[in-house]
């Protein structure tokens, strides 16, 4: 594979940008080698600056559920851009997207739009603390909730592979209020609640962990969290930045029928433009400024281009059979990858919820961060590079999800499975 231009650009990028990238996992550090610079993308494909093309299973880390540059979304963005790109004043578009979100996710009676998932989570936790008048929070090991200070404790994603347990620059005073428990471990959560409930504002969880690879919740995990929090006046926050509109039009909460107090969204609701959102019960949301005293603001919040992309994307997701089709294709891909590993005698533990796929190079089972880390990351790195050489772009880290879009064809999936058959044999 020719990578001359990517290499040149990466060298230049490192002069001007720390590590040459604007988000750490992009740098390929955990799989070795150098990142490819992308020139354009269409449908299921990424095209790099050296003229290589790839079937893409990263999909911008989740947002591109319709594939890249879906014509209806691009047209809508272009039309919106013609009317100006930001006003700093309310628009009808924001009302429509907020309406669509509240109709899709009944636990969200009111929603505030922001510009990233990080911002959504940070604001939701501020609100939970104000509402309960308590300071402490519980998060789960390996769950990633953006990069705000007090959430950089035992987080997954880039931190899983960079080996930064807690980032320098975060005062110990800030994470003092963050308690952590293993994902899927009800007993530890219960002990923490018993001990700290008087000062616990909220429990935040990715209902399907998607930043340590994909780790689904055990059957009782979410319902028990709901019962325990309710009993002690603790808010339950679902971070559905990945899972919202990914696993179901109503998010993971619709899939598992567990209703949180607050929900954080991002990724898909921006259709590939920068957006986040947080929402929940009206009684809680009305504490947000200007209605209430909890301050939260944003110059570009509710940006007309991003909101337009979101509206058009969500509209497409309402098509009959959308999730069933996507799920069926994802199942086929998972089945093919699993069979390829089995035939080659490679131990592989697969996890999947709808079009979110995980594959760990370990006998498993994988139920939490500790068991996810049992995966042979060297085997993953080899798998990643060999697949890349065959034109298949998986995440450059073991601890990320693979995503499918409706732009992926049966031929794409066949090609991916054929490549995996050859690659697994070489491991
Ligand atoms: C991506 C992600 C975030 C952060 O969103 P950004 O838009 O990158 O700030 C938060 N929570 C989860 C679960 C995520 O996957």
Average pLDDT over residues 11-35: 96
Q: What is the mean pLDDT of residues 346-364?
A: 98
Q: How far is the CA of 1 from the centre of ligand 1 (A)?
A: 32
- pLDDT tier for residue 267 given thresholds of 50, 70 and 90: very high
pLDDT of residue 166: 67
pLDDT of 98-139, one tens digit each? 999 999 999 999 999 999 999 999 999 999 999 999 999 999
pLDDT band for 156, please (50, 70, 90 cuts).
Answer: low
Mean pLDDT, rounded, for 247-272? 98
Question: Ligand 1 center to residue 313 CA distance, Å?
Answer: 18
Residue 46: is its pLDDT beyond 70?
A: yes
Residues 81-90 have pLDDT tens digits of: 999 999 999 9
Query: Token pair of 230, please?
Result: 């309710």
Condensed to tens digits (0 to 9), the pLDDT of residues 278-296 reads 999 999 999 999 999 999 9
Residue 239 appears among annotated catalytic residues:
yes
pLDDT at 158: 62
Contacts of 103 (CB under 8 A, 6+ apart): none
pLDDT of res. 153:
74
- Is the pLDDT reported for residue 20 higher than 60? yes
Q: Would you call 394 exposed, middle or buried from its count of C-beta atoms within 10 A (0-12, 13-18, 19+)? A: buried
In the reported structure, the alpha carbon of residue 22 is separated from the centroid of ligand 1 by a whole-number distance in angstroms of 15
Here the tokens at position 63 are 């947002």
Q: Which two tokens stand for residue 347?
A: 């131990």
User: In terms of C-beta density within 10 A (0-12 exposed, 13-18 middle, 19 or more buried), how is residue 15 classed?
Assistant: exposed
Q: Is 210 in the pocket of ligand 1 (CB under 6 A)?
A: yes
Could you check whether the bond before residue 342 is cis, i.e. omega within 30 degrees of 0? no
* Of the candidates 266, 292, 311, the residue with the CA atom closest to the CA atom of residue 76: 311
Euclidean distance between CA atoms 180 and 192, whole angstroms: 9
Query: 175 pLDDT band (50/70/90 cuts)?
Result: confident
Q: Inform me whether the pLDDT recorded for 164 exceeds 70.
A: no
Tell me the domains of the chain and their CATH numbers: 4-69+320-426 (3.90.1150.10), 71-317 (3.40.640.10)
Nearest protein CA to atom 6 of ligand 1, as residue: 117
Q: What φ, ψ does residue 336 adopt, rounded to 5°?
A: -65, -40
Between CA 112 and CA 278 the distance in angstroms is 6
Predicted confidence at residue 310, as pLDDT, reads: 98
Nearest to 146 by CA among 135, 164, 159, 132: 159
pTM above 0.85, yes or no: yes
What's the 3-state SS for the chain?
CCCHHHHHHHHHHHHHCHHHCCCHHHHCCCCCCCCCCEEEEEECEEEECCCCEEEECCHHHCCCCCCECCHHHHHHHHHHHHCCCCCCCCCHHHHHHHHHHHHHCCCCCEEEEECCHHHHHHHHHHHHHHHHCCCEEEEEECCCCCCCHHHCCCCCCHHHHHCCCCCCCCCHHHHCCEEEEECCCHHHHHHHHHHHHHHEEEEEECCCECCCCCECCCCCHHHHHHHHHHHCCCEEEEECCCCECCCECCCHHHHHCCCCCEEEECHHHHCCCCCEEEEECHHHHCCECCCCCECCCCCCCCCHHHHHHHHHHHHHHCCCCHHHHHHHHHHHHHHHHHHHHHHHCCCCEEEEECCEEEEECCCCCCCCHHHHCCCCHHHHHHHHHHHHHCCEECCCCCCCCEECCCCCCHHHHHHHHHHHHHHHHCC
CA distance linking residue 321 with residue 339, whole number of Å:
27
Q: What is the mean pLDDT of the chain?
A: 96
Q: Is 146 in the pocket of ligand 1 (CB under 6 A)?
A: yes
Among 207, 266, 273, 399, the mutation site with the greatest number of ligand 1 atoms within 8 A of its Cβ is 266
Averaged pLDDT, 88-98: 98
* Catalytic residue status for 267: yes
Does the Cβ of 63 fall within 6 Å of ligand 1? Answer: no
* Mean pLDDT, range 175-197, rounded to an integer: 94
pLDDT at res. 157:
61
Cβ atoms of 411 and 329 within 8 Å: the answer is: no
Query: Is the pLDDT assigned to residue 405 strictly greater than 50?
Result: yes
Q: Whose CA is nearest to atom 15 of ligand 1?
A: 242
Sign of CA dihedral 357, 363, 368, 370: negative
For the cut 60, the answer to whether the pLDDT of residue 162 exceeds it is: no
pLDDT at 159: 58
Residue 423 Cβ < 6 Å to ligand 1: no
Catalytic residue among 139, 154, 267, 373: 267
């Amino acid at each position: 594979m020719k990578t001359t231009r990517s290499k040149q650009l990466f060298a230049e990028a490192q002069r001007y940008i720390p590590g040459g990238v604007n988000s750490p996992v992009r740098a390929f550090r955990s799989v070795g080698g150098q990142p490819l610079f992308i020139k354009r993308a269409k449908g299921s494909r990424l095209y790099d600056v050296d003229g290589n093309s790839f079937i893409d299973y990263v999909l911008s880390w989740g947002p591109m559920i319709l594939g890249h540059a879906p014509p209806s979304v691009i047209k809508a963005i272009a039309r919106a851009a013609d009317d100006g790109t930001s006003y700093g004043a309310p628009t009808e578009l924001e009302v429509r997207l907020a309406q669509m979100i509240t109709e899709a996710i009944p636990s969200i009676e009111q929603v505030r739009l922001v510009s990233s998932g990080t911002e959504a989570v940070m604001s939701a936790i501020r609100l939970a603390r104000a509402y309960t008048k308590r300071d402490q929070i519980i998060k789960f090991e390996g769950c990633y909730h953006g990069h705000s200070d007090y959430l950089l404790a035992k987080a997954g994603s880039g931190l899983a592979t960079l080996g930064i347990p807690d980032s320098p620059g975060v005062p110990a005073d800030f994470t003092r209020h963050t308690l952590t428990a293993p994902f899927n471990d009800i007993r530890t959560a219960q002990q923490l609640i018993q001990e700290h409930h008087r000062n616990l504002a909220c429990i935040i969880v990715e209902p399907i962990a998607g930043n340590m690879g994909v780790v689904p919740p055990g059957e009782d995990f979410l319902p028990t969290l709901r019962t325990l929090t309710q009993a002690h006046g603790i808010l339950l926050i679902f971070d559905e930045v990945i899972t919202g509109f990914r696993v179901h039009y109503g998010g993971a909460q619709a899939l598992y029928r567990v209703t949180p107090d607050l929900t954080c969204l991002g990724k898909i609701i921006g259709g590939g433009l920068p957006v986040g959102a947080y929402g929940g019960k009206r009684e809680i949301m009305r504490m947000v400024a200007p209605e209430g005293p909890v301050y939260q603001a944003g110059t570009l919040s509710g940006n007309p281009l991003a909101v337009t992309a979101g509206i058009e994307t969500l509209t497409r997701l309402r098509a009959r059979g959308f999730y069933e089709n996507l799920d069926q294709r994802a199942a086929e891909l998972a089945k093919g990858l699993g069979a390829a590993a089995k035939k080659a005698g490679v131990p592989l533990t697969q996890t999947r919820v709808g079009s979110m796929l995980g594959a760990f190079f370990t006998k498993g089972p994988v139920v939490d961060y500790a068991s996810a880390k049992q995966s042979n990351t060297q085997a993953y790195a080899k798998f990643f590079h060999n697949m890349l050489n065959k034109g298949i772009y998986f995440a450059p880290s073991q601890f990320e999800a693979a995503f499918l879009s409706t732009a992926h064809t049966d031929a794409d999936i066949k090609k991916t499975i054929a490549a995996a058959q050859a690659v697994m044999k070489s491991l």
